[in-house]
Amino acid sequence: MSFDQLGVHPRCLGVLKGQRITEPTPVQAEAIPVAVEGRDVIAIAQTGTGKTLAFGLPSLTRLAGTKPGRTRMLILAPTRELAQQVESVIAPLGKALGLQTACVYGGVGMERQTQALRKGTAIIVATPGRLLDHINRGNTRFDEVSILTLDEADRMLDMGFLPDIKRILGRLPKERQTLMFSATFAPEIASLTHEFMRGPVRIEVGAIAKPAEAVRQGVYTVDPAGKVDLLARILREQEVQSALVFIRTKHRTDRVAKALQTEGFKAQAIHGGRTQRQRQQAIDGFRQGRYQVLVATDVAARGLDVHGITHVVNFDIPMSSDDYIHRIGRTARASAEGDAITFVSPGEHVALGNIERALGKALPRTEWEGAVHVQSRFRPAGDHAPRNGRPGHRKGPRPQGQPQRGGDSSAHRTRDAQPGSFRKPRRPFGRTRPARPSADR
């Protein structure tokens, strides 16, 4: 199937051809024909499956030929990064149809955004908080909005945006098309659809809240104090070209980024404490290859779309399975392959168990000489036999300060090596084996 068979406007087809996008993804093939007809749509699909074009192409096709001077489409996104990413996809398509776009988000001045809103820019991509600021100042002209899109709806609810979303929707015409795209379908979303959508068509592509099959997932059990050294070792020995590292707090994000810089890696940090300019410079540098590693809090999990990310590393294991799915969804995008590595320390077995239960399988553990015991609480359906689980060990280079029997630990590090640097092994670092459930429940 091709895009022209889905009823996409010919000028949009020309833009896609120039971008060498020839075949629709499953969610695009399912959603576009329904949305082109003007129906409300709820689309549940995995991260990285092309949801932006799935709602952008039919919407622009329907808006083609509309008169300028009024805002016709509003797209809400949870973060600045995601709003910018969506606008970058929509803008060239809109330009081909004579439809201008504008991006409205916090952390920057309001003057240019005010001008775009007051003159009635055709397509507005916005975060809820900043858009409400403009609404309260009387800067918006939404009386002719005919299409509303909620992108990453579950994330907006997780971030507490539900009251803001309801206030915004109260300012829009009731006669409109509403498109809701998300990776999960929480009960709160179901409630929202009943309140603000009219007979929506529900589309589900692939399993809900499951990572793409092209993502190779694995676990390294590690003592918390050894995480930085382990990360540096993986980056060096696997010759990682583009890695996104997730950390729970912004202060530790900065510290880890600086530690990697000391180890010789081109690393940069991104988190909510940095200015919009600093965040954008970090993202642009990562996208253009100036930075090899981007160390981030979850602020980047839903908004960052960089082609070619080969590795996602959960330096801190996420506390929910949804966050895990969205983190590792930054790799293996658009049919590519990628690796998702999660560091797990002894006190984090509950979080690991929650993720494994949501996935319906145990994540394979990589055997390495610094592994520590982390019990697994995941048990396959129907498996009630108690079995002992222990971290795997294999012979190989040992961490700094842990000598090999009958030898000196310095023999396993290059001369004058700094802490955390390792000699590249003669054989691949680590060996993966399936996790075995522990007798402890």
Listing DSSP states for 37-54 in one string gives TT--EEEEE-TTS-HHHH
What is the Cα 69 distance to its own chain's centre?
34
> Token match 């084996």: residue?
433
- Judged against a pLDDT cut of 50, whether residue 314 lies above it is answered with yes
Range of the domain at 49: 3-205
Question: Domain check: are 220 and 336 in the same one?
Answer: yes
Please indicate, yes or no, if residue 82 is contained in any of the structural domains: yes
Question: Domain check: are 157 and 290 in the same one?
Answer: no
Each residue of 318-371: pLDDT tens digit?
A: 887 878 887 887 786 655 678 999 999 998 988 899 899 888 889 999 999 999
Last residue in a domain, options 205, 229, 250: 205
> What CA–CA distance (Å, rounded) separates 107 from 276?
6
DSSP letter at 23? S
Question: Domain check: are 379 and 415 in the same one?
Answer: yes
Please indicate, yes or no, if residue 96 is contained in any of the structural domains: yes
Each residue of 274-307: pLDDT tens digit?
A: 877 888 888 889 988 999 999 998 765 555 667 7
Each residue of 27-47: pLDDT tens digit?
A: 999 999 999 999 999 998 876
pTM comes to 0.61
Kind of pairing between the strands at 431-433 and 243-246: unpaired
Closest CA to 89 of 61, 57, 63: 57
Please indicate, yes or no, if residue 441 is contained in any of the structural domains: no
Q: Cβ distance 78 to 161 under 8 Å?
A: yes
Question: Domain check: are 199 and 232 in the same one?
Answer: no
CATH number at residue 154: 3.40.50.300
In this predicted structure, what is the pLDDT of residue 422?
38
Question: Domain check: are 153 and 175 in the same one?
Answer: yes
- Judged against a pLDDT cut of 80, whether residue 25 lies above it is answered with yes
Question: Domain check: are 174 and 255 in the same one?
Answer: no
Instruction: Tally the domains of the chain.
Output: 2
Please indicate, yes or no, if residue 440 is contained in any of the structural domains: no
**243-246: strand order across its sheet:** 267-270, 293-296, 243-246, 311-314, 338-344, 215-221, 365-367, 431-433
Please indicate, yes or no, if residue 13 is contained in any of the structural domains: yes
Please indicate, yes or no, if residue 438 is contained in any of the structural domains: no
Last residue in a domain, options 179, 205, 231: 205
Question: Domain check: are 256 and 350 in the same one?
Answer: yes
Question: Domain check: are 177 and 278 in the same one?
Answer: no
Which three-class secondary structure state does DSSP give residue 333? coil
Neighbours of 212 (CB within 10 A): 22
Question: Domain check: are 196 and 226 in the same one?
Answer: no
Please indicate, yes or no, if residue 210 is contained in any of the structural domains: no
Angle at 96 between CA 94 and CA 101, to 5 degrees: 25
Please indicate, yes or no, if residue 7 is contained in any of the structural domains: yes
- Judged against a pLDDT cut of 60, whether residue 69 lies above it is answered with yes
Question: Domain check: are 143 and 251 in the same one?
Answer: no
In this predicted structure, what is the pLDDT of residue 395?
37
Q: Is the alpha carbon torsion for 291, 25, 54, 194 positive or negative?
A: negative
Q: Give the type of residue at 44.
A: I
> What CA–CA distance (Å, rounded) separates 241 from 299?
22
- Judged against a pLDDT cut of 80, whether residue 26 lies above it is answered with yes
Last residue in a domain, options 205, 237, 267: 205
> What CA–CA distance (Å, rounded) separates 358 from 68?
47
Each residue of 237-262: pLDDT tens digit?
A: 988 889 999 998 888 999 999 999 99
Question: Domain check: are 272 and 414 in the same one?
Answer: yes
> What CA–CA distance (Å, rounded) separates 65 from 99?
9
Each residue of 154-186: pLDDT tens digit?
A: 878 777 788 899 999 999 999 999 999 987 776
Question: Domain check: are 239 and 388 in the same one?
Answer: yes
- Judged against a pLDDT cut of 90, whether residue 226 lies above it is answered with yes
Which three-class secondary structure state does DSSP give residue 6? helix
**What is the helix (H) or strand (E) element at residue 268, kind and residue range?**
strand 267-270
